[in-house]
């Protein structure tokens, strides 16, 4: 078993909690830094008290908290972020300050012992680029700073650049992973911001699914276990250093197709009967400033080649696992509530 030490910022959030559990179960010493309370640990609450697990309630924008959590880490997985386009449009200043300040602290603390940093960026950095699939070397395309829709993309992109600059200037080993839509049990349940959690909630509350627009826009959804697997590989594969990788699943589906599929699985699991769907405007769900992207599919050639990454859970199977978990375990304790 490995004796390696990891710090996961944002480790109480959706991806962070699954990542922390996986690291811990593979023998790592894991410190979670998150600004949420111990009562919000949700899916990893049972790890509290274990000698290889430490939870630090703290703020990644505070240097001392990052030092406390990460100064011994071999790898810092930096996931703490204001998350989701809708949330970031609501408070661009908080988004910029939270993400940029925390990114600097993580990089500076990592420099002390040359810890590796794996930074969680987003597919949103590609902006409205009309290309399928999106490859890591593609340009970013979005409007200027007067359009708040793109603050999340802009800030993630700047954080990516900081990672690259620390690698170039200080030889600090940094890796950027660009996540494409993940999903799984517990994601965003209390404050649903993303489509699968919104549909899950509609199903559990017995309401028709709310499909934005005509539902012909497509996405590619990646089950949480595959996201975590890709993130672990980014932290482990030596050739990954100084590089950026798309992490996701390239199986593409329209949002209307997703609604139909989730309804069919929910019916098969006895969770819903004849709910159907209704069409709503983008503004009604995400606010008037939101600009939807028509297609977004990750190009995975580089991740496959360099990391050996391969998503293993098909959408049908991942949705079945997710809905079955809600049916069998009910709604989890809050996950990622403070993001
Ligand atoms: N889930 C996805 O599909 C997806 C897609 C693209 C990018 N990402 C990125 O992956 C990361 C994890 O996403 P998630 O879906 O798990 O989000 P999440 O909101 O569930 O988790 C984020 C966590 O970060 C914590 N946090 C935020 N600011 C903090 C701070 N200053 N100090 C300490 N903790 C702080 C929050 O409390 C929360 O627990 C984020 O960086 C997000 O931008 C996720």
d(CA 210, CA 196): 11
Closest atom of ligand 1 to CA, residue 101: 31
Q: Which of 42, 12, 151 is nearest to 31 (CA)?
A: 12
CA of 162 to the centre of ligand 1 (A): 18
Q: Which of 176, 168, 330 is nearest to 247 (CA)?
A: 176
d(CA 339, CA 324): 26
d(CA 124, CA 88): 12
CA of 15 to the centre of ligand 1 (A): 7
Distances (CA, A) of 68 to 107, 171, 200: 14, 23, 37
CA of 338 to the centre of ligand 1 (A): 9
d(CA 26, CA 148): 41
pLDDT of residue 140: 92
d(CA 6, CA 29): 6
Encode pLDDT of 287-321 as tens digits: 666 677 889 999 999 999 999 999 999 999 999 99
Model confidence band, residue 230 (pLDDT cutoffs 50, 70, 90): very high
Q: Centre a 10 Å sphere on the Cβ of residue 259 and count the other Cβ atoms it contains.
A: 23
Closest atom of ligand 1 to CA, residue 59: 32
d(CA 180, CA 221): 7
Per DSSP, the three-state class of 247 is strand
pLDDT of residue 285: 67
Encode pLDDT of 249-292 as tens digits: 999 999 999 999 999 999 999 999 999 999 998 777 666 666 77
Residue pair 183/15 in contact by the 8 Å Cβ criterion: no
Q: Which of 120, 117, 122, 146 is nearest to 134 (CA)?
A: 122
Encode pLDDT of 39-80 as tens digits: 778 789 999 999 999 999 999 999 999 999 999 999 999 999
CA of 50 to the centre of ligand 1 (A): 24
CA of 9 to the centre of ligand 1 (A): 9
Residue 91 structure tokens? 């408070």
Model confidence band, residue 338 (pLDDT cutoffs 50, 70, 90): very low
Q: Which of 176, 202, 178, 177 is nearest to 189 (CA)?
A: 202
pLDDT of residue 57: 96
Q: Rounded mean pLDDT of the chain?
A: 93
Of 94-98, 112-116, 285-289, minimum mean pLDDT range: 285-289
Closest atom of ligand 1 to CA, residue 40: 39
Residue 339 has pLDDT above 60, yes or no: no
Residue 104 has pLDDT above 90, yes or no: yes
CA of 82 to the centre of ligand 1 (A): 6
Encode pLDDT of 153-166 as tens digits: 999 999 999 999 99
d(CA 51, CA 196): 35
Residue 337 has pLDDT above 50, yes or no: no
Residue identifier of the C-alpha nearest atom 26 of ligand 1:
80
186: alpha, beta or left? (left if phi > 0; alpha if psi -120 to 50): left
Task: Name residues whose C-beta falls within 8 Å of residue 332's C-beta, 6 or more positions apart in sequence.
Answer: 42, 43, 185, 186, 189
* Structural domains of the chain, with CATH: 5-183+222-250+296-313 (3.40.50.720)
DSSP structure string for 252-275 = EEEHHHHHHHHHHHHHHTTS-SS-
Residue 322 has pLDDT above 80, yes or no: yes
d(CA 121, CA 89): 17
Model confidence band, residue 18 (pLDDT cutoffs 50, 70, 90): very high
Residue 241 structure tokens? 């250093």
Q: Which of 178, 183, 196 is nearest to 134 (CA)?
A: 178
Residue pair 219/252 in contact by the 8 Å Cβ criterion: yes
Closest atom of ligand 1 to CA, residue 12: 39
pLDDT of residue 333: 63
Residue identifier of the C-alpha nearest atom 9 of ligand 1:
120
Residue pair 87/51 in contact by the 8 Å Cβ criterion: no
Q: Enumerate residues lining ligand 1, CB below 6 A.
A: 9-10, 12-16, 33-36, 59-61, 79-81, 83, 98, 102, 120, 122, 179, 181-182, 336, 338-339
CA of 78 to the centre of ligand 1 (A): 9
Residue pair 246/180 in contact by the 8 Å Cβ criterion: yes
d(CA 213, CA 283): 10
């Amino acid at each position: 078993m490995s004796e390696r030490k990891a710090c996961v910022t944002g480790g109480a959030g959706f991806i962070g909690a699954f990542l922390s559990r996986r690291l811990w179960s593979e023998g790592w010493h894991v410190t979670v830094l998150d600004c949420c309370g111990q009562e919000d640990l949700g899916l990893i609450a049972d790890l509290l008290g274990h000698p290889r697990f430490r939870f630090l309630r703290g703020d990644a924008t505070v240097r001392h908290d990052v030092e406390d959590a990460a100064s011994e880490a071999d790898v810092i997985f930096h996931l703490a972020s204001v998350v989701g386009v809708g949330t970031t449009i609501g408070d661009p200043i908080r988004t910029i300050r939270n993400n940029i300040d925390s990114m600097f602290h993580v990089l500076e603390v990592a420099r002390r012992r040359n810890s590796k940093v794996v930074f969680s960026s987003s597919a949103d950095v590609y902006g409205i680029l009309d290309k399928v699939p999106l490859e890591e070397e593609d340009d970013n395309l979005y409007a200027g700073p007067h359009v708040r829709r793109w603050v999340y993309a802009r800030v993630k992109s700047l954080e990516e650049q900081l990672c690259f600059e620390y690698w170039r200037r200080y030889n600090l080993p940094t890796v950027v992973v660009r996540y494409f839509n993940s999903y799984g049990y517990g994601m965003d349940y209390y404050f649903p911001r993303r489509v699968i959690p919104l549909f899950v909630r509609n199903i559990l509350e017995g309401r028709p699914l709310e499909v934005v627009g005509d539902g012909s826009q497509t996405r590619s959804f990646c089950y949480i276990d595959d996201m975590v697997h890709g993130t672990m590989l980014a932290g482990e594969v030596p050739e990954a250093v100084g590089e950026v990788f798309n992490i996701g699943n390239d199986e593409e589906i329209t949002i209307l197709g997703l609604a139909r599929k989730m309804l069919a699985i929910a019916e098969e699991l006895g969770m819903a009967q004849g709910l159907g769907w209704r069409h709503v405007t983008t503004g009604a769900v995400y606010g008037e400033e939101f600009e939807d992207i028509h297609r977004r599919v990750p190009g995975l050639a580089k991740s496959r080649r360099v990391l050996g990454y391969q998503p293993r859970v098909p959408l049908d199977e991942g949705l079945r696992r997710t809905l079955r978990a809600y049916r069998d375990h009910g709604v989890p304790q809050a996950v990622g509530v403070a993001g």
